[in-house]
Amino acid sequence: MNLTSIENLLNSVDDFFYTYLLAALLILAGIYLTMRTFGVQLRHFGTMVNSLSGSRSGAHGGISSFQAFAVGLAARVGIGNIAGVALAVVAGGPGALFWMWVVALIGMATSFVESTLAQIFKERGRDFTFRGGPAYYIKNGLGSALWGKVFAALCIVSVGVTVVMVQTNSLAQVMTATVPSLSGWMVGVFLVLLTAPVVLGGVRLVARVAEWLAPIMALAYVLMAVVVILLNVSRLYDVFCSILIGAFGLDQAFFGTAGGVLAALLNGVRRGLFSNEAGLGTVPNAAGTATVAHPVRQGLIQSFGVFVDTILVCTATGLLILLTTDTYRPGDDSLEGAILTQQAVVEHLGSWTTWPMVVLIFVLVFSTVLGCYSYAQVNVNFLGGERRAEQVFGILLTAAAFGGTVLTLPVVWALSDIALGLLGVLNLVVIIRLAPWVNGALRDFENQRAQGLTEPTFVGHGNSLLPGDVVPGVWEPDDVAKRG
């Protein structure tokens, strides 16, 4: 079987998986969890924003709430926002952006639930920092260590290998297109030399780097998009009309290369899912490491991360592309991925932006690779890996970073979609079963807020609002320090 045959097979599996299973499950789960939490993403949106202001403190030597948010943001805000959105609007037309918004708005509830569960069922690690995530809430919430191990193994492969390859693949494309004399393997070597020292330093070093790197890059990118929007404000109404018309298939002129409303829906859902990761079970691995006073607080903060990723950053990319007059044309796939976004910026702001965009994409890829390491390392620990195993995984991740720079784009994206899709199916089933725990924690949080407490604290033992007791040694009633 040659590479073309493998590519066709992977794409067929990928299309079937997203068309008939994951897209429907993702949307239905998001709607169900939105109803179960009475629209927590809308009712508590102000609380999400306010929670960020005090989230840098209170870690007591561990990983702060803001650092966990930044690690999640670092992994979310990357090539999915730059290349993924570009792929979506090429294949699905402008309407794909609308379905990305829908996925994000309902996905905020899904992200809230999974991140709150990561906090409820977290454990204390050997270095006194916390470890949490789907593997932990599968073991401690459902009582299944076996399925916890299955999830951990899938997460290590999907996040620590395939997602990393997607990121570095797109980076190599941009770099070699900008500097034709460069080869993909040269980009890979440079990235490995930069990444290895950080990931081999452990999760705390990753958190410290991500704490300032990810928010600054996301803000810089959005500000650049705001400038472009202001320069093209007269065309903004037409662009939003094309998004809405394309989303519901009202005009074939706004279809993508695949054509039709189904193409807009599927590409929007697929790329939106890859970008904001709501429901995939990846972000909870970062959420569970935070030291907070109440699980709901971290759930709200990570839910806000979905809003930042898709409603702000992905929309910024979509508008950058759709506001062009020459670079993007519906039905034309001569440019795709990160190169399309880069050329859109050049059309708007001039050729001088070529290298700043290369630097921005490079930093976003680098920060995402660090976030992927943090996610996967939690699962390495779950499987019993000590410091040596963490270092071996760090080497594996840097090898994947190099491998992504020398493979073809369709193969890398298909592998990543399939691996993340399997992860998502397992996680969505689990969080729906464990939703009563989140409802109890949310009622506990809201009751304390109603009593005038600005910083509710959580007790996980003997709490009548919960279905049972949580892990011994965590959320104990007689140890305030352990509540954080």
Smallest CA-to-CA distance from 123 within 111, 135, 112 is with 135
What's the angle, vertex CA 304, arms to CA 278 and CA 111, rounded to 5?
25
What angle, rounded to 10 degrees, do the helices at 85-92 and 315-322 form? 50
Phi and psi of 214, rounded to 5°? -65, -50
Instruction: Give the helix ranges, DSSP H, for 158-278.
Output: 164-178, 184-199, 203-231, 236-247, 261-276
Instruction: Determine the 3-state secondary structure of 149 from DSSP.
Output: helix
Ordered DSSP codes for 61-127? TSB-HHHHHHHHHHHHSSHIIIIIHHHHHHHH-THHHHHHHHHHHHHHHHHHHHHHHHHHT-EE-TT
What's the angle, vertex CA 133, arms to CA 315 and CA 457, rounded to 5?
95
How far is residue 390's CA from residue 121's CA, in Å, rounded to a whole number? 22
Instruction: Determine the 3-state secondary structure of 135 from DSSP.
Output: helix
- Do 335 and 343 meet the contact criterion of CB atoms below 8 Å apart? yes
> Could you write out the three-class secondary structure of 383-420?
CCCCHHHHHHHHHHHHHHHHHHCCCCHHHHHHHHHHHH
Look at the alpha carbons of 281, 283, 286, 289 in this order and tell me if their dihedral is positive or negative. negative
Instruction: Determine the 3-state secondary structure of 256 from DSSP.
Output: coil
Residues in a beta bridge with 123 = 131
> Could you write out the three-class secondary structure of 316-379?
HHHHHHHCCCCCCCCCCCCCCHHHHHHHHHHHHHCHHHHHHHHHHHHHHHHHHHHHHHHHHHHH
How far is residue 134's CA from residue 285's CA, in Å, rounded to a whole number? 7
Q: Which two tokens stand for residue 84?
A: 């993924």
Give, for all 484 residues of the chain, the pLDDT tens digit. 566 676 677 777 777 776 667 778 888 899 999 999 999 999 999 888 887 765 555 545 456 666 666 666 666 666 667 777 877 787 778 888 888 898 889 999 999 999 999 999 998 866 667 888 899 999 999 999 999 999 998 888 888 888 888 778 777 877 787 777 777 777 778 777 777 766 665 555 555 655 566 667 777 878 888 888 888 888 888 888 888 888 887 665 566 666 666 667 777 777 776 677 788 888 898 888 888 889 998 899 889 888 888 888 888 888 888 888 888 776 666 666 677 887 888 888 888 888 887 887 777 777 777 777 778 888 888 887 666 666 677 777 777 777 777 766 666 667 777 777 888 889 999 999 999 999 999 999 999 999 988 888 999 898 999 999 998 888 887 654 444 4
Look at the alpha carbons of 327, 329, 330, 333 in this order and tell me if their dihedral is positive or negative. negative
How far is residue 117's CA from residue 136's CA, in Å, rounded to a whole number? 9
Look at the alpha carbons of 83, 84, 87, 89 in this order and tell me if their dihedral is positive or negative. negative
Full-model pTM: 0.83
Give all domains of the chain, ordered by start, each with its CATH number.
11-46+60-450 (1.20.1740)
Look at the alpha carbons of 251, 252, 256, 260 in this order and tell me if their dihedral is positive or negative. positive
